[in-house]
Amino acid sequence: MSTVLGVIVIARNGDRRTFHQDPETYAPSLTDSTALGVTDLHLLGTQLRAAYLKPGSASFISSISADIVDTQQVKVLSKAGGEGSVVFDSAIALLQGLFPPTPRNRITLANSTVVLAPLGGYQYVPLETVEPGNDRSLESWTDCPEFQKHIASFHASDTFKTKAEEAEPFFQDIQDYVFGRPATLENIWNIYDFMATQLTYNQTYAFRLPPTYIEQARALANFHEDGIFSDAQPNGIGNIAGRTLLHTVLESLERIAFSDDPLQLMVIQTSYQPFISLFHQTDMVKEHPELKGIPNFGAALAIELRRGSAPDMRDFLRFKFKNGTADPEDWSLLHAYGHHADIPLTEFIYRAEGAAIGNNKQWAQVCGVKPGFSTTAMDAARAISVQLALGSMLLFALFVIASLLVRSRRIRGPRYIRLAEDEIETPGLPRMAKGRFV
């Protein structure tokens, strides 16, 4: 029996309100969590706890602090871009299930007073948000010119055109159920997401939607998103969602494998896109074609680092996938790169690291982003703020100089007073005050 040294869990966010993505750029809109979504992720947390933090479980992490969280052993990352607020809420809910309140989370003070943490011993697990304006590891596909070319190329392909022609009758039939949204294969993600959300939260819509429509929309959305977020080559631009995440995965595996590093559990809360890319990059879709497409809300990919049993005491990786929380025991065993067993850690690193993107500079090179070009709305806002601040400072300096000039001329004598007043009233100065240099 192999020993589990540590685990990396990649989890998709929970259900939420309708979410719109631009079909050409995948620029995201705003959306909100729902009680259903966070409940689902809390359940995922309890299922992960049962698998990895319960002594006696076949996958129990051998030396982790299972009851009271040791913040040196656990690291949590949450995507902040796109569906960021929903992903963050999902991460909090997952952690509440993974490390639930416990009466052991208390402390005895010097005066012998015992203080229990709030909410019956709530555990506060540090959570690091990953903002695409600073770190592209969890949202690498937006503001990426080369990826936008990849989208356009896929939409222009013969495969896409054939599928669009086959789906035309369906798009004609759903006109009354999409309320003005473009009924095209290019826009199928938004169509499917709208229909699925309405079917979940709008009873009137659920009563009216004909049978099989949601299944047809889901199949077309799977085709579309799989084509967008995959590539024939592991290091292709279509796999960029997985390539940036892969660096974090490899770095975390190396930390877990290093005996002097305390890290044993890494949780990465993200959206659906990296799942598709990773399944293609590691060749898992070849044996499991059902992985092509959009994973369900609350889906999770667990990457277990295991110490082999004698005589082979090397470190191996075992991949398990859970497509949602409906069945607590429904973990599918996956194999990377054509292996039909656990893959040695060293081989996985050797085969995967060539496609990984390790920093923002590499991301910019892959995406064709010019140096110094602001790639996000936040970057643009910061640039504008800096310009406005500099402009305001310049304007204030001009005002002070003008005031000093006026004062000095008044001091010189009466024959300069009129000249100073004339200068103040000249048309040039008011135009400068209106922001000529901003």
Residue 382 has pLDDT above 50, yes or no: no
Share the mean pLDDT of the chain. 88
Which positions ≥6 away from 39 have C-beta within 8 Å?
14, 93
Residue 214 near residue 197, CB atoms below 8 Å: no
Residue 97 has pLDDT above 60, yes or no: yes
* Domain residue ranges of the chain, discontinuous segments joined by +: 3-146+229-367, 377-433
Amino acid present at 394: L
Q: What is the pLDDT of residue 393?
A: 55
Distance CA 72, CA 380 (A): 36
pLDDT digits (tens, 9 = 90+) for 182-230: 999 999 999 999 999 999 999 999 999 999 999 999 999 999 999 999 9
Q: What is the pLDDT of residue 42?
A: 98
pLDDT digits (tens, 9 = 90+) for 15-64: 999 999 999 999 999 999 999 999 999 999 999 999 999 999 999 998 99
Q: What is the pLDDT of residue 313?
A: 83
Q: What is the pLDDT of residue 125?
A: 97
Residue 326 has pLDDT above 90, yes or no: no
For the record, the structure tokens of 254 come out as 């190396």
Which positions ≥6 away from 97 have C-beta within 8 Å?
41, 42, 43, 44, 45, 46, 47, 48, 49
| Position 433 confidence tier, pLDDT thresholds 50, 70, 90 | very low
66, with CB counted inside 10 A (0-12, 13-18, 19+), is middle
Q: What is the pLDDT of residue 49?
A: 97
Ranges of H-type helices in 282-321 = 284-287
The topology under which CATH files domain 3-146+229-367 is: Rossmann fold (3.40.50)
| Position 244 confidence tier, pLDDT thresholds 50, 70, 90 | very high
For the record, the structure tokens of 350 come out as 């050797």
Q: Tell me the mean pLDDT in the region 261-281.
A: 98
